[in-house]
Amino acid sequence: MEEGCDVYRRDLFLDGLLVLTSSEHGGHDPATEFRRHLEVLGASWLHVRSDKGLLHRLPPGPYMYIDKALKPVYRLYDDVQGSFLTALKPRLTWHDTVPYSQLRAAGTSYDCLSVAVPARFPGSVQSCAPRLRVVVKDLYRMKGLKTSLNNRAYYDFSEPADSTAAVISSLARDGAHILGMTKLSSMIAREEPLDAVDFHTAFNPRGDGYQSPAGSSSGSAAAVAAYDWVDCGIGSDTSGSGRRPALANGVWQFRPSHDRVDLRGMVVTYAQFDTPCIFARELRHLKTALRSWIPESGGGQTHADQRMPADVPSYEIVYPLDYLPVPNQEQMALIDSFLSDAASHLPATVRKISIRETWKSSHPVGTPDDVDEYLRDVVTRTYYYAFYHSSDEFRNKYAQAHDGRPPYVIPFVQRRWAKGAAVTAAQHQEATDRLKEYKEWLLRTVFYQGGQNEKEKQKQVLVLLPIGNVVPNYRDTPSPSPEEQSALDELFLPPILGAPDIAVPIGDVPYQSRITGQTEHLPVVVNFVAAPGRDWELIAAVEKIMALSARPTVVRTGKRMFEAS
- Pairwise CA distance, residues 434 & 430, whole Å: 6
Share of the chain above pLDDT 90, in %: 76
| Residue 560 resides in a domain | no
Q: Are 523 and 249 in contact (CB under 8 A)?
A: yes
Examine the pLDDT at 29 and tell me if it is beyond 70: no
Domain closes at, from 72, 92, 108: 72
Regarding whether 379 and 366 lie in a shared domain, the answer is no
| Residue 508 resides in a domain | yes
Examine the pLDDT at 125 and tell me if it is beyond 70: no
- Of 166-175, 320-329, 404-413, 456-465, the one with minimum mean pLDDT is 456-465
pLDDT digits (tens, 9 = 90+) for 41-89: 677 766 666 655 555 566 666 777 777 777 788 999 999 999 999 999 9
Q: Are 324 and 338 in contact (CB under 8 A)?
A: no
| Residue 190 resides in a domain | yes
| Residue 86 resides in a domain | no
Number of structural domains (the chain) is 4
* pLDDT score for 127: 43
DSSP 126-183: T--SB--EEEEETTB--BT----TT-HHHHHH---BSS--HHHHHHHHTT-EEEEEE-
* pLDDT score for 562: 97
Segment 114-120 shows an average pLDDT of 91
Beta strands in 215-274 (DSSP E): 232-237, 252-255
Regarding whether 314 and 188 lie in a shared domain, the answer is no
Regarding whether 499 and 351 lie in a shared domain, the answer is yes
Regarding whether 503 and 364 lie in a shared domain, the answer is yes
* pLDDT score for 450: 67
Examine the pLDDT at 452 and tell me if it is beyond 90: no
Regarding whether 404 and 350 lie in a shared domain, the answer is no
Helix (H) or strand (E) holding 275: strand 275-280
- Write down the pTM of the prediction: 0.91
| Residue 91 resides in a domain | no
pLDDT digits (tens, 9 = 90+) for 98-112: 899 999 999 999 999
> Looking at residue 497, which CATH number applies to its domain?
3.40.190
Q: Look over the chain and give the mean of its residue pLDDT values, rounded to a whole number.
A: 89
Regarding whether 223 and 203 lie in a shared domain, the answer is yes
Regarding whether 166 and 251 lie in a shared domain, the answer is yes
State the pLDDT confidence band at 35, using cuts at 50, 70 and 90.
Answer: low
CB atoms within 10 A of CB 307: 6
| Residue 93 resides in a domain | no
pLDDT digits (tens, 9 = 90+) for 257-274: 999 999 999 999 999 999
Regarding whether 221 and 325 lie in a shared domain, the answer is no
Regarding whether 128 and 46 lie in a shared domain, the answer is no
| Residue 220 resides in a domain | yes
* Residue range(s) defining the domain that contains residue 48: 10-72
Segment 513-532 shows an average pLDDT of 98
| Residue 557 resides in a domain | no
Residue 196 Cα distances to 193, 216, 260, 473, angstroms: 5, 12, 33, 15
Domain closes at, from 236, 258, 291: 291
* pLDDT score for 495: 98
Regarding whether 332 and 215 lie in a shared domain, the answer is no
Regarding whether 381 and 238 lie in a shared domain, the answer is no
Regarding whether 398 and 266 lie in a shared domain, the answer is no
